[in-house]
Amino acid sequence: MKEELQNKLAENFPFMIGRNVFTGKIIYDKNGKTSGAYCECHDGWFQLIYDCCKEIKESYEKNGYDITIDTIMPFQIKEKYGTLNMYFNCSEEAHAIISKYEDMSETVCEFCGEDGKLRNMSGWYKTLCENCFIEKNKIY
């Protein structure tokens, strides 16, 4: 995903800041700047991830849980077998929210965010809209 979009997630949801997934420590670049957590998928799923983070935040607020970088930590966000997979250390309620968005990714084009469906392209799974499917078939 574009760095700009990853940064946008971290700006809105501080727990989405880029971290070392083993130590949990925030990563600073050589200029002392932070960035958003790495999302190994294309930009079409930005809105799904954004909405998921928003719902996680609301769930924490509703349950009276603290929202800190220690109580919610994404450790991997990626495309796997054509769908969105998000691995977080978070509350049980938040895990249920994440599952819901993972399921929703089967209907959202990973490239452009339009309505899509899970397609098998000779054993290679991708969730794509009609246009992106035609476009990708030309390339691959």
List of residues contacting Zn ion (CB under 5 A): 109, 111-112, 114, 129, 132
CB 134 within 8 Å of CB 118: no
> For residue 83, which amino acid is it?
T
Query: Closer to Zn ion at the Cβ: 18 or 44?
Result: 44
Which residues have CB under 8 Å from 129's CB, separation 6+?
109, 111, 112, 114, 115, 116
Query: Closer to Zn ion at the Cβ: 44 or 74?
Result: 44
Largest CA distance in the chain: 51
CB of 111 vs Zn ion, minimal distance in Å? 5
CB of 60 vs Zn ion, minimal distance in Å? 32
CB of 113 vs Zn ion, minimal distance in Å? 7
Query: Closer to Zn ion at the Cβ: 28 or 81?
Result: 81
Query: Closer to Zn ion at the Cβ: 27 or 104?
Result: 104
CA–CA separation, 73 and 92 (whole Å): 13
CB of 112 vs Zn ion, minimal distance in Å? 3
Q: Which residues partner with 125 through β-bridges?
A: 120
